[in-house]
Amino acid sequence: MKENRILMQYFEWYLKPESKLWNKVAINAKYLSAIGITDIWLPPAYKGAGGKYDVGYSAYDLYDLGEFYQKGTIGTKYGTKEEYLNAIKELHANNIKVYADIVLNHKIGADESETVYASEEQQNNRNVDTSLPKKITAWTVYNFKGRNNKYSDFKWNYSHFNGTDWDESGRKNGIFRFSGKHWDQNVDKENGNFDYLMGADIDFNNPEVVEEINKWGKWYIETTNVDAFRLDAVKHIKSGFMADFIHNMRKIKPIDCVAEYWNRDLKTLENYITKTNSSIPLFDVPLHYNLYQASTSNGNYDMARIFDYTLVKDMPSLAVTFVDNHDTEPGQALFSWVQEWFKPLAYALILLRKEGLPCVFYGDFYGVPAHNIKPMGEKLEKIIKARKYFAYGDQIDYFNHHDVIAWVRTGDNEHIDSGMVVILSDGPGGSKMMNVGKKLANTVFYDYTGNVQETVYVDQDGNGIFYCNGGSVSIWVKKENIYS
Ligand code: CA
């Protein structure tokens, strides 16, 4: 029986090493599978410059999955290689697909520095040099002595990078482009050219780099047996490289993927999808910002337009929808945290629709203690389960009011007692007369969330009047269903 997929991002920014994430996810695999999680995105598993305290995005050694004593530790923030592989095994044993977080744009935490000629670039227009080429001392030598050539004897030096942001001898911050190098052209156009993000920026025009990263990708899939990749920071990497990399990896295993292209402009995302031959779905950043704005508009957002200018509306099969992630949390660079009161509405909008692959955030599910954010717990679990049990069949929209919007899922024959009515409001409570179709005609419905206590009777023609409270969502399902 084909069930609805639900991806879960299984980490948040402020986790502590003591939480031993690999062991936690292994222990919880059975429970997560039971409530309806089918896919899990794990954080970067390799050694970062910050050792035990690195979230994973300051990638140092992609071959060190918590196996070698480097950066002051054997394990990463999340545990050892053995624990990582065990977690993947446990997730697989519970029919959950595993996404690995792949950070290819840059390296941080070099072993040695070297003298390089470089020109300084203007911060907000990286196409403009502000200096002639001059000698700088760049941190670009990576020899991974702690790993001692195991898995790969590739050594990185300045010739494998385009530039960096720190001149050691001049003790100077800036954006330094190495002489003879140019920024990749097929990247985001912000700041003139957004190839450079941080650390030592990898040069994807260097054939040695391309060969080594493809070799690593094959090693990663064969070592870990992951099913999918979450590709980090792709707007800073030339699109052609990413498309080729995914194409090559799919010769090894038919992996899924989703990429983080952080831009709220829909056309920019669609342009990337076109350039990568529709082979790389993207997170729906424009939808995240719609949800964020709705949550901060004091009930004055036009809910009928919540899906306007979103990827899930335009290219539903290439959209991964989400409410928040590790970068949008309080205190992070892309802070745009969807307000708590709106979270159940936002999750209903991603989890109970036909279109898109929804992604549930760890920080919503378990809370973010570092910022006093309480777990949604049961509230979110109910919406996840509602997707698993009821969100099947045709979808009929009632997006005809600026506060109260609703949709019907008619249910299908494959899933007993499936079908539902979702109604929500960012303003005062309200109701709508809706038709649930023939299959669910002449039935009593109740609110699966428990937000509304009364029941609703649907007549022989399938018509009923459904309610929700103010600033709230109700999920109406057949009263005596096999799951209750
Ligand atoms: Ca780059």
pLDDT tens-digit series, residues 314-349:
999 999 999 999 999 999 999 999 999 999 999 999
Residue 215 lies in a domain: yes
pLDDT tens-digit series, residues 121-169:
999 999 999 999 999 999 999 999 999 999 999 999 999 999 999 999 9
Q: Is 348 found in the same domain as 249?
A: yes
Domain that holds residue 430: 395-478
Q: Is 279 found in the same domain as 413?
A: no
Within 8 A by CB and 6+ apart from 338, the residues are 288, 291, 292, 295, 323, 324, 328, 346
Residue 1 lies in a domain: no
Q: Is 251 found in the same domain as 369?
A: yes
CA of 456 to the centre of ligand 1 (A): 56
Q: Is 337 found in the same domain as 425?
A: no
* φ, ψ dihedrals at 138, nearest 5°: -110, 140
> Final residue of a domain: which of 151, 186, 206?
206
CA of 426 to the centre of ligand 1 (A): 40
Distance CA 282, CA 237 (A): 14
Extract the tokens encoding 109. Answer: 């935490």
Query: Average pLDDT for residues 246-264, to the nearest whole number?
Result: 97
Average confidence score pLDDT of the chain:
97
Q: What is the pLDDT of residue 482?
A: 77
Q: Is 73 found in the same domain as 28?
A: yes
Q: What is the pLDDT of residue 481?
A: 75
Angle CA 318–37–452, to nearest 5: 100
Q: What is the pLDDT of residue 155?
A: 98
How many alpha carbons fall within 13 Å on the CB side of residue 375? Answer: 6
* DSSP conformation class of 5: P
Residue 94 lies in a domain: yes
Asked whether the beta carbons of 425 and 303 are under 8 A apart, the reply is: yes
Q: What is the pLDDT of residue 37?
A: 98
Q: What is the pLDDT of residue 484?
A: 67
Per the structure, how many domains does the chain have? Answer: 3
Asked whether the beta carbons of 48 and 95 are under 8 A apart, the reply is: no
Q: Where is 457: in which H helix or E strand? A: strand 456-458
CA of 107 to the centre of ligand 1 (A): 10
Query: Average pLDDT for residues 29-35, to the nearest whole number?
Result: 98
Extract the tokens encoding 133. Answer: 């080429």
Q: Is 158 found in the same domain as 267?
A: no
Distance CA 237, CA 230 (A): 14
> Final residue of a domain: which of 185, 206, 227?
206
Residue 452 lies in a domain: yes
Distance CA 263, CA 261 (A): 6
Query: Average pLDDT for residues 110-115, to the nearest whole number?
Result: 98
Q: What is the pLDDT of residue 305?
A: 98
Instruction: Show the beta-strand stretches assigned E in 75-123.
Output: 97-102, 106-107, 112-122
Extract the tokens encoding 346. Answer: 């936002």
Q: Would the pTM of this model clear 0.95, i.e. be above it?
A: yes
Query: Hey, which residues are catalytic here?
Result: 232, 260
Give residue 2's pLDDT band: very low, low, confident or very high (50, 70, 90): confident
pLDDT tens-digit series, residues 263-313:
999 999 999 999 999 999 999 999 999 999 999 999 999 999 999 999 999
Residue 442 lies in a domain: yes
Residue linked to tokens 């539903």 = 316
Residue 213: is its pLDDT beyond 90? Answer: yes
Query: Average pLDDT for residues 414-420, to the nearest whole number?
Result: 95
CA of 443 to the centre of ligand 1 (A): 57
**Domain of 175: which CATH number?**
2.40.30.140
Q: What is the pLDDT of residue 271?
A: 97
CA of 295 to the centre of ligand 1 (A): 33
Q: Is 37 found in the same domain as 95?
A: yes
State what percent of residues in the chain have pLDDT above 90.
98
Residue 68 lies in a domain: yes
